[in-house]
Amino acid sequence: MVEPKTHRLGPIVLAADVLPRHGWSFLLAAFLSIGLMIFISVGQTYVLNVNLGIPDSEQGGITSRLIVWTELVALTLFIPAGVLIDRVSRRFIYALGFLFLAITYAVYPFADSLSDLYLYRCTIYALGFVAITAALSTVLVDYPAEPSRGKLVAMVGFLCGLGVAVIQGFSAIPPLLVQRGMSELQAGQAMHMVVAGLCVGAALLVATQLKPGLPARPRQRPTPREVFVGGFTEARNPRVLLAYSAAFIARGDQAVNAFFLTLWGTLAGKAAGLDAAEALAAATLTMFVPAQIAALLWAPILGPFLDRFDRVTALAICMVLAAIGNLALLLLGDPRASYGIWFFILLGIGQISVFLAAQSLIGQEAPVDRRGAVLGAFNVAGAIGILLIVLVGGPLFDAIDPRAPFVVVGVVNVLLFFASLYVRVKAPQKAVARTVAAEGSVGG
């Protein structure tokens, strides 16, 4: 039997039948994906301050409730999205997600009430968020050969971090436009339109350049019911269950960083006398962006480590890094202090470490014919993480201290470190075939 031809993407060996152009297109899509999704944190903070004039003391709770309701909707959609990805097309769902984001950013800056924000975020944005998250995770599992999985996960993590840093930098647009005579409201609308256009371009990219088709041949595909329940039944594997738990905290950590770090800095800037646009831009560029730059520089260092060691062992070490990054903020009183950048660097390194380790572990353990469903369950766990951590962290942010949500995440990091040690002993890694062709035919 002739083995399918394989290709390389630099040092990364691709799965059978994945062409280099598919790989390069996916890397560009990854660069755009997380940044475009997380930009909602910039847009939301801007709208709360400029459009709606919400008092500072209420913004943490409102932000928390908006995230919670979005995640509740997402929880109902991740498994159906996984079924569609396994039965229809990776790239169709991916493109659809970007189009939903484009619509979100086209309408968001015209909100004139909290009801508008709830409507836009919990319907249009939630659909885009679920579609992109599910498709990105599934294609990331599809495209590498097993020996290169950690390297591709790290490269995608690097590009996601770079994309977040670049796209969050669009928060500098409103102050520039205000200086040229625009009102703060008009400047915010212009910023959102730029991002909406970028979403449309991303939709065209994934719709035309990712690999068409599905990974399993028609006669091998499970029934829709098997796909639907597959993600949950796979949790009987302790290593899969641990990966789901890691997704819980990795996504919760991302949400805390994206929303509460920016909000903390914005409120501190306003307290120091800056207007809303200046405070948001300063918080984004001096707090959130350094964390993301640290994450993207750390990702390629982490990638070879993930491929070299048992992935549960790697996850345990990454939990320690994340705990240090989150709990260290207890030592930072003023987020605008010059030395604060070191804390944000630790925060970024910890956050990306757990995210990449979780992706690497689930990528190794997910069966080929049920990847969409398993990744759907993985994303459900992440959505629950966002939901619970934000539900607890939002009120703590307002009532106790802006650092409280980070402390909650850090405590969970410590607990999952011990869980990782337990799984490492009780469920050691099975022998993994190190042949490039082992992945079989893979589609996008």
The string of pLDDT tens digits covering residues 209-225 is 998 866 554 444 555 55
On whether the CB atoms of residues 155 and 34 are closer than 8 A, the answer is no
On whether the CB atoms of residues 16 and 436 are closer than 8 A, the answer is yes
Residue 435 inside a domain? The answer is no
Q: Please tell me the distance from the alpha carbon of residue 283 to that of residue 105, in angstroms, as a whole number.
A: 21
Tell me the residue type at 365: E
Average pLDDT over residues 296-319: 85
Residue 9 inside a domain? The answer is no
Alpha helix ranges (H) inside 234-283:
238-255, 262-271, 276-283
CA distances from 214 to 249, 433, 441 (A): 30, 22, 9
Indicate the number of domains in the chain. Answer: 1
Q: What is the pLDDT of residue 205?
A: 95
Examine the pLDDT at 432 and tell me if it is beyond 50.
no
On whether the CB atoms of residues 126 and 97 are closer than 8 A, the answer is no
Q: What is the pTM of this model?
A: 0.70
Q: What is the pLDDT of residue 439?
A: 39
The model's confidence at residue 442, banded by pLDDT at 50, 70 and 90, is: very low
- The position carrying tokens 């802006």 is 402
For the ranges 306-315, 338-347, 435-444, the maximum mean pLDDT occurs at 338-347
Tokens read off for 396: 């703590």
Of the two residues 155 and 64, the one the predictor is more confident about is 155
Residue ranges making up the domain that contains 46? 18-212+223-429
On whether the CB atoms of residues 222 and 369 are closer than 8 A, the answer is yes
- The position carrying tokens 């770090």 is 261
Query: Dihedral of the CA atoms 369, 212, 148, 301 (nearest 10)?
Result: -120
Average pLDDT, the chain: 82
Residue 8 inside a domain? The answer is no
Residue 399 inside a domain? The answer is yes
Residues 6+ apart with CB under 8 A from 435: none
Q: pLDDT > 90: what percent of the chain?
A: 23
Examine the pLDDT at 56 and tell me if it is beyond 90.
no
Q: What does the pLDDT look like over 135-164, one tens digit per residue?
A: 898 888 888 887 777 788 778 878 887 887
Average pLDDT over residues 341-356: 90
Average pLDDT over residues 93-109: 94
Q: What is the pLDDT of residue 33?
A: 92
On whether the CB atoms of residues 130 and 88 are closer than 8 A, the answer is no
Question: Based on the number of CB atoms within 10 Å of its own CB, is 427 exposed (0-12), middle (13-18) or buried (19 or more)?
Answer: middle
Q: Please tell me the distance from the alpha carbon of residue 62 to that of residue 270, in angstroms, as a whole number.
A: 18
Examine the pLDDT at 345 and tell me if it is beyond 50.
yes
Tokens read off for 240: 């899969």
Residue 13 inside a domain? The answer is no
Tell me the residue type at 186: Q
Determine phi and psi for 10, rounding to 5 degrees: 65, -125
- Please tell me the number of Cα atoms within 13 Å of 409 on its side-chain side: 39
On whether the CB atoms of residues 382 and 248 are closer than 8 A, the answer is yes
Which CATH number belongs to the domain containing residue 314 in this structure? 1.20.1250.20
The model's confidence at residue 365, banded by pLDDT at 50, 70 and 90, is: confident
Q: What is the pLDDT of residue 111?
A: 86
Tokens read off for 155: 């490269």
For the ranges 28-32, 141-145, 310-314, the maximum mean pLDDT occurs at 28-32
Residue 303 inside a domain? The answer is yes
Residue 157 inside a domain? The answer is yes
Residue 182 inside a domain? The answer is yes
Q: Please tell me the distance from the alpha carbon of residue 238 to that of residue 89, in angstroms, as a whole number.
A: 29
The model's confidence at residue 23, banded by pLDDT at 50, 70 and 90, is: confident
Q: Please tell me the distance from the alpha carbon of residue 233 to that of residue 243, in angstroms, as a whole number.
A: 14
- Please tell me the number of Cα atoms within 13 Å of 58 on its side-chain side: 8
Examine the pLDDT at 32 and tell me if it is beyond 70.
yes
Closest by Cα among 377, 415, 265, 387 to 332: 265
- The position carrying tokens 């590009």 is 159
Examine the pLDDT at 402 and tell me if it is beyond 80.
yes
Q: Please tell me the distance from the alpha carbon of residue 441 to that of residue 369, in angstroms, as a whole number.
A: 11
Q: What does the pLDDT look like over 161-198, one tens digit per residue?
A: 788 778 878 888 888 888 888 888 889 899 999 999 99
- Greatest distance between any 2 Cα atoms in the chain: 72
Examine the pLDDT at 200 and tell me if it is beyond 90.
yes
CA distances from 171 to 53, 87, 163, 282 (A): 18, 38, 14, 9
